[in-house]
Chains A and B, each alone.
Chain A
Amino acid sequence: MAYDEVLSRFDPVLGLEVHVELNTNTKMFCGCRNEFGGEPNTQVCPTCLGLPGSLPVLNAVAVESAMRIGLALNCEIAEWCRFARKNYFYPDMPKNFQTSQYDEPIAFDGYLDLELDDGEIVRVGIERAHMEEDTGKSLHVGGATGRIHGAEHSLLDYNRAGVPLIEIVTKTIEGTGARAPEVARAYVTALRDLLRALGVSDVRMDQGSLRCDANVSLKPLGRKEFGTRTETKNVNSLRSVERAVRYEMTRQGAVLAGGGEIVQETRHFQEADGSTSAGRRKETSEDYRYFPEPDLVPIAPSREWVEKLRGTLPEMPWERRKRIQADWSLSDAEFRDLVNAGAVELVASTVDAGASSAEARSWWVSYLTQQANNREVELAELPITPAQVARVISLVAEGKLTNKLARSVVDGVLAGEGEPDEVVDKRGLAVVSDDGALTAAVDEALAANPDIAEKIRGGKVAAAGKIVGDVMKATKGQADAKRVRELVIERCTV
């Protein structure tokens, strides 16, 4: 069904659940390293493998991170709360229950304000933010797709099992109409920026440290009751959040318009064509048999502790933006371009790493945005860090790279060839600044053009241009043209 037609008949209702992996040193309930990657089953212990007899002990930093996230989202912090066990069997879950908060979340009832592309501010209510643990990872072997269906067997790695997660759940988001997909994306973007500012997570959607499940339903215009919702999982980029919501709206619109019913189910987002597909139907309704986790004692944060944490909150992204806009002397329009390119924080970090704001801005909104578009990824997902961009900028400033060479260095970093300096070495891109080598090239060019050499010696300095051009050609553009010119004149005046 056409998107406009859906909106002429229905109101979309959203609910977003975001899982954030914290970047603590260790896991939620044990001292195993919390690190992405790593050889399989090397970051495990009796506790995160669920070995008989093992017990959990809660990571203090994870609790503080949870509270700081709650405070940044304007939530209340529980005076007393507990963990519960969510019981269900799944091979990637070592205990066959997830230790999670259930009816007593550590943070609840908050909100997040977001700015849409045109500057409109939307307030999204936050239902809760609670602590839980991640599962292990399964690798499905055999079958055509490497996916779960058709696999012959599976291989389990528990390095991720027990990694601290914060699940942030919005209240229902209504009344956004045609902008629902955009709101969904803006929410996840704003949340990501906030979490990055808090320094609590790597927020890498491509690595799964930020994961979004989108609940979507439609209700006929003018009606009060919500329609049946679906929950779309596996939405692994900001762009996908927007696409998934939009797709579900049109799909559900078509089903409802055709007199059909929406089935309450989990759906999977297909990156390739932007569609969602139904998951396997559950034979029996889930009954998680939650009960308070007897192996962990209640958490009762003192108000002093909460206020102390409130004092550690960094400048919020929106405050920071106001300040940055002023610092960089940008007009509203210029700044919005930067925002829409998803480049504010990247530019800011590049500036923090020592670059000028003009240079940093120029790199991120032009060349790097182009590269992101070519690869169809978010700017932030490009495999280059602000520190690396800042290094490239400083190499140019030091005269070690020309702008053209600098782009080649950036290409090398994006291609995974290493740090900028390594790429310079490996690709042999350094500006030739060794006077010895340059002098030799200059002498050679002068010898090849005796008539021009004569003119220069006679005081016609303007004739040097041809010699400089030849030297640049001979050094494949890696020489500093200004220095070459100086050398030419020097050689002709001795």
Chain B
Amino acid sequence: MPNISRDEVAHLAKLARLAVTDDELDTFAGQLDTILSSVARVGEVAADDIPPTSHSVPLTNVFRADEVRQGLTQAEALAGAPAAEDGRFRVPRILGEEQ
């Protein structure tokens, strides 16, 4: 079934925020094609009337009381940051619009 093109791999890489190299585009195109062709076997199972399983525990209604719980200090929050400034995480300029 699948026949993954280089362009499709490039599109996936963009969605996944991966700056893949040209070499990788070729490698991944081949490997994804092989894997997808194999996993497409799930389609052989007649499952029209079968409900999907998203969770393997049959739990519902798990809630937390609306009570404040000790979090992190500002210093702890920022300790692992690649860059910080004025108590905030410093990041390069953002091009995209907020969604």
Contact = CB atoms under 8 A, between A and B. Distances in A.
Direct contact of A and B (CB under 8 A): yes
A298 B55 contact: yes
B1 to A, nearest CB: 20
Contact of A266 (B72, B86, B97): B97
Contacts of A384: none
Task: Determine the main DSSP class of B at the interface with A.
Answer: loop
Nearest to A40: B87
A26 B69 contact: yes
Contacts of A287: 15
B17 interface: yes
A442 B10 CA distance: 91
Nearest to A29: B64
Given A82-B54, A294-B54, A300-B60, A60 B65 contact: yes
B92 interface: yes
A135 B97 contact: no
B99 A156 contact: no
Nearest to A46: B72
A139 B54 CA distance: 38
A67 to B, nearest CB: 12
B11 A40 contact: no
Nearest to B85: A155
Given A152-B93, A156-B91, A280-B96, A44 B60 contact: no
B14 A284 contact: yes
A406 interface: no
B88 to A, nearest CB: 4
Contacts of A292: 54-55
A138 interface: yes
Nearest to B73: A42
Interface in B50-80: 54-55, 57, 59-74, 77-78
B11 A44 contact: no
B66 A61 contact: yes
A32 B68 contact: yes
Contacts of B91: 91, 153-156
B98 interface: yes
Interface in A15-38: 24-26, 30-33
Contact of A32 (B54, B69, B99): B69
Interface residues of A, number: 61
Interface in A106-165: 135, 138-140, 142, 148, 151-158
Q: Which of A41, A43, A45, A153 has the most CB of B within 10 A?
A: A41
A153 B85 CA distance: 11
Contacts of A158: 77, 89
B35 interface: no
Nearest to B66: A61
B66 A153 contact: no
Contacts of A59: 63-64, 66
Contacts of A90: 94, 96, 98-99
Interface string B21-50: 000000000000000000000000000000
B88 A157 contact: yes
Interface in A291-305: 291-292, 294, 296-301
A30 B85 CA distance: 25
A40 B68 contact: no
Nearest to A80: B60
B64 A60 contact: yes
Contacts of B57: 297
A142 B92 CA distance: 11
A338 interface: no
A58 B14 CA distance: 32
B55 A138 contact: no
A153 B86 CA distance: 13
Contacts of A154: 90-94
A297 B55 contact: yes
Contact of A89 (B17, B55, B71): B17
B90 A153 contact: yes
B66 A62 contact: yes
Given A90-B96, A284-B14, A298-B55, A31 B62 contact: no
A26 B88 contact: no
A457 to B, nearest CB: 70
Contacts of A151: 93-94
> Which of B17, B62, B78 has the most A CB atoms < 10 Å from its CB?
B62
Interface of A: 24-26, 30-33, 39-46, 48-49, 57-63, 80, 82, 88-92, 96, 135, 138-140, 142, 148, 151-158, 266, 279-280, 284, 287, 289, 291-292, 294, 296-301
Interface of B: 11, 14-15, 17, 54-55, 57, 59-74, 77-78, 85-99
24 contacts: A26-B66, A30-B71, A31-B67, A31-B70, A32-B71, A40-B88, A41-B74, A41-B77, A41-B87, A42-B73, A48-B71, A60-B63, A62-B66, A89-B17, A91-B91, A91-B94, A140-B93, A148-B97, A154-B91, A266-B97, A289-B15, A294-B54, A294-B55, A300-B60
